[in-house]
Structure 1
Amino acid sequence: MSDSTAVVVIGGGYAGVMAANRLTRRDDVTVTLINPRPAFIQRIRLHQVTAGSGEAVVEYADVLSPRVRLVVDAADRIDTAERDVHLASGDAVHYDYLVYAAGSAGPEPRVPGAGEFAYTMDTLEAAQRLRKVLDATPESAPVVVVGSGPTGNEVAAELAEAGRTVTLVAGTTVAPYVHPRARRSIAKGLARLGVTVLEGPDAKAAEVTADAVRLTGGRELPSAVTIWTAGFGVPDLAARSGLRTDELGRLITDETLTSVDDERIVAAGDSASPSGVPLRMSCQAALPLGAHAADTVLSRLAAERPATIDIGLPAVCTSLGQGHATMQFVAKDGEPMGLFVGGRLGSRLKEITYPHVLEKLAREAREPGAFVWKPKDERRPRLLAERGETAALADRAA
């Protein structure tokens, strides 16, 4: 009988790869990473894949420890009683501990016609499919982008810079995730590229057809290609496996990232909802979440009490074409500050920051435990107190 502990990681994105690499700190732990693709996908580059201005695929050999066994398959169901992950291929992988890092994707659009006529770009395959559609569409044909989150703003900018006629349906306001000062910087960058931005109470998509987008205010926008970037969703794997999730399907955990249903399951990244108060989705948050999830498992193996999360997000970056970007700095309470860097300097900072993400994964593969982060988020205690869960969480973590 083997004395090793089997840890399975579901999801090979930023959080999953960080967790898998970090788990190799112990020689008596075997790590298996389950991912439906044989390569690592940089989601922060998918807008460039869509526009044909960049690539998003990185070989796992460049970021994943050779001690991690990669299983290219999709997780279909988690059997918590037997501690098995059943795969789409029909195989199963047994675990002693499971790291749930299934990631996120855009939800099925609920607006009439959007599911049939609009294109998404939240996965590599979706971005590649959209790229082919755009290649087959005349450059002068109108393109409508629905949603003014980072993805919507970035793809609208990339396509406009490539010569496309782009309208961005922003909803109530453009770039609602940043400070008003940074919002003006993003709006200025979009205008510089010729993007028509529609915002306000009447600037929401009400219906999508094969050649138009109708807004709530009644206006109809001609659209040869409609790109849907609004909304947020996660895979329903946790819910299908009988684990408790929040209203969007994220696995509910305590503040150590441990499932409230099963001490053997720890979550990280966009699919985790600690205490029902999830952190802002981003690769910058995914890395420390993945590291913390691994540390929780390692603490339990060492018969130590796992630490509670304390993760801050330093900045949010929005690319506006190849040469401009807006980098929004975030305060210790998690709220966007009035401080930001825009234009060409913002782009230079972004291009310095993005490669560092891969470098941090690669270093963790070489030196498990090397990744460190500065605790910053002073907002979580307040949010938890507002939910009245502080005492319950202390009992759960003890």
Structure 2
Amino acid sequence: MQHRIVVLGAGYTGAVAAGRLARRLRGEDVSIRLVNTEPDFVERVRLHQLAAGQDLTPRPFDEMFAGTGVELTLARVAAVDVDRRAVTVDGAAGREELAYDSLVYALGSGWNDGGVPGAADHAHELASRPGALRLRARLATLEAGRTVVVVGGGLTGLEAATEIAESRPDLDVALVVRGALGDWLSEKGRGHLRKVVAGLGITVHEHRTVAAVAADRVTTEDGTAVPADVTVWTTGFAVHPVAAATALELAPDGRIAVDATMRSVSHPDVYAVGDAAMAAGPGGEPLRMSCASGVPMAWQAADALAARLAGVKVPEIAIRYFQQCVSLGRKEALVQFVTAGDRAKEKALTGRTAALYKELICRSAVWGVANPTMGLPSRRRRVARQDHRDAVPAEATA
């Protein structure tokens, strides 16, 4: 009997986990089903480029997973019953139920409007391809002199504001940030960011919190009205709601609580990776929602699951940070080097060199999806012979 592995979500983490499992385990021993709503891979780190009018290279999963044994199911996940080990999905053929022996939950996150009045009705989001395409269509209708306000001064907000300002210099672009612009960066990083933002003509409203969004403006907590023909909301991400409807133990923010091997602390046949999981990084601090965290989490989960099924020693990797890469349009970027715990060092790359570095990182991320072993030994392990429908290896429950 094949051990049935179901992977939910084919973003960076789900796609990497599925491909890595396929290269770690023998096809005659396991079946791997990848459930996703779209037939091709979405480069989430490039969605600001898509919104600004650039066309991204299509990356169909049928090509990426050709010959691996990974089966793609195009459907939306409606529910997960972790006690019955079953996933309910809605696809072209209607509703169906997928049984599993091991589950990898990688449904990720979506945009978070923070409950701010009017945000859900009037603001655009960049957390999904449909959202980026809607923003792209809206920007295309704007005449010269119209205003675009980006709310949020994190990585997504900076990339969105600079990309739009560079591609549409005829628009008035503004950025509203809660603290100081780039206040988490080194002195060198902050200085370069301010130089680029000023050069692109972006107006920055610092130390402002948006309290309401309307069709033609955003209003800050101090009552200041900032004109906005288009508002782009980038203040953070919210976890996918499916997890909250399961019996899985969750962290206070709704992410699935996992151990060092990305296995659910309440259900040992479930692994969670990426933005869906609350995992500890250096110093016990929670890993932030990001591709930089999610990909090594996917490596860890796949390797741990494969090892447990094969009855061999379970590896553990130390997940740490090295840099934060920020595109500032197509010609500029900032690479802020950080400590293992994600605190800025003084060292930073800027300018064209940083732009080339960031592009290399983006391309490497896609390469990692299609080549998930990342140069590690790819010998496929035989699954230990036991009835995995009813039990997991003894080590998995230790």
**TM-score bracket, shorter-length normalisation:** 0.7 to 0.9
The 8 Å contact of residues 23 and 368 in structure 1, kept in 2 or not, is answered as no
Question: Which stretch of structure 1 is more off in the superposition, 113-122 or 330-339?
Answer: 330-339
Q: Is residue 2:339 matched to residue 1:334?
A: no
How far did 1:323 drift? 0.3
What amino acid is aligned across from residue 43 of structure 1 in structure 2?
Answer: R
How far did 1:396 drift? 9.4
Match in the other structure for 1:26: 25
Q: Which runs of 5+ in 1 are unaligned?
A: 372-394
Give the alignment partner of residue 309 of structure 2, picking from 278, 286, 301: 301
Give the alignment partner of residue 268 of structure 2, picking from 263, 271, 293: 263
Query: Which portions of structure 1, spanning 4 or more consecutive aligned residues, are displaced by more than 6 angstroms?
Result: 365-368
Match in the other structure for 1:51: 52
What amino acid is aligned across from residue 10 of structure 2 in structure 1?
Answer: G
Q: Which runs of 5+ in 2 are unaligned?
A: 380-394
Question: Which stretch of structure 1 is more off in the superposition, 221-230 or 179-188?
Answer: 179-188
How far did 1:180 drift? 4.0
What amino acid is aligned across from residue 38 of structure 2 in structure 1?
Answer: R
Give the alignment partner of residue 108 of structure 1, picking from 113, 119, 143: 113
How far did 1:146 drift? 0.3
Cα-to-partner distance string for 1:208-237 (whole Å, 9 max, x where unaligned)? 111111112221111101111112211021
Match in the other structure for 2:98: 93
Q: Is residue 2:198 matched to residue 1:191?
A: yes
Q: What is the total number of aligned residue pairs between the two structures?
A: 371
Q: In structure 2, how many angstroms separate the alpha carbons of the residues matched to 1:140 and 1:57?
A: 33
How far did 1:363 drift? 2.3
- SS at 1:39's partner residue? coil
The 8 Å contact of residues 19 and 371 in structure 2, kept in 1 or not, is answered as no
Matches within 5 A, 1:183-262: 183-200=190-207, 203-262=208-267
Matches within 5 A, 1:334-353: 334-353=342-361
The 8 Å contact of residues 146 and 168 in structure 1, kept in 2 or not, is answered as yes
Instruction: Assess, with a 3 A threshold, how the Cα gap between structure 1 residues 32 and 364 changes in structure 2: closer, same or farther.
Output: same
- SS at 1:7's partner residue? strand
Match in the other structure for 1:390: none
How far did 1:309 drift? 4.1
Cα-to-partner distance string for 1:119-158 (whole Å, 9 max, x where unaligned)? 1121000110111111112131011110011111111001
Question: Which stretch of structure 1 is more off in the superposition, 356-365 or 229-238?
Answer: 356-365
Q: In structure 2, how many angstroms separate the alpha carbons of the residues matched to 1:76 and 1:90?
A: 9
- SS at 1:190's partner residue? helix
How far did 1:286 drift? 2.0
Q: In structure 1, how many angstroms separate the alpha carbons of the residues matched to 2:212 and 2:64?
A: 42
Q: In structure 1, how many angstroms separate the alpha carbons of the residues matched to 2:162 and 2:57?
A: 18
TM-score, scaled to structure 1: 0.88
The 8 Å contact of residues 150 and 174 in structure 2, kept in 1 or not, is answered as yes
RMSD (Å), alpha carbons: 2.2
Q: In structure 2, how many angstroms separate the alpha carbons of the residues matched to 1:347 and 1:42?
A: 17
How far did 1:114 drift? 1.3
Cα-to-partner distance string for 1:361-381 (whole Å, 9 max, x where unaligned)? 22238988559xxxxxxxxxx
The 8 Å contact of residues 64 and 362 in structure 1, kept in 2 or not, is answered as yes
How far did 1:348 drift? 1.2
